Amino acid sequence: SAVISQKPSRDICQRGTSLTIQCQVDSQVTMMFWYRQQPGQSLTLIATANQGSEATYESGFVIDKFPISRPNLTFSTLTVSNMSPEDSSIYLCSVEGETGKVTEAFFGQGTRLTVV
């Protein structure tokens, strides 16, 4: 299993500002995933972050709005840029159990973001 720590756990931000969310894993992992969970909705994958390469974004998400860093095998950040109230969501970091094997995904506790 993997233990994932996310910071901050919640924040209230002014529109037009940016927030960087940190994700720390207790073991080295190849791929890290960032999800968005809008109020009352399911999880939507934002992007996949591999160490040493640019993140791969899903349809509807762009790097300018959600820049991601992946400096090493245990850490990643997601920035929500130029925020608007529509960005109010829970943002979750996730990793796979074992590289090359089909195991479950592990999730951080999430960052609850409110944009006012």
Partner 1 sequence: AQSVTQLDSQVPVFEEAPVELRCNYSSSVSVYLFWYVQYPNQGLQLLLKYLSGSTLVKGINGFEAEFNKSQTSFHLRKPSVHISDTAEYFCAVRIVAAGNKLTFGGGTRVLVKP
Q: Which residues bind partner 1 (CB under 8 A)?
A: 4, 6, 31, 33, 41-45, 48, 92, 96, 102, 104-110, 112
Contact 45, 94 (CB under 8 A): no
Whether the upstream peptide bond of residue 85 has omega within 30° of 0, thus cis, is no
CA dist., res. 72 & res. 69, Å (int): 9
**Closest distance between partner 1 and the C-beta of residue 82, in Å?**
26
Token duo for residue 92: 């979750």
Q: How far is the CB of 3 from partner 1 (least distance, A)?
A: 11
Nearest approach in angstroms of CB 46 to partner 1 is 12
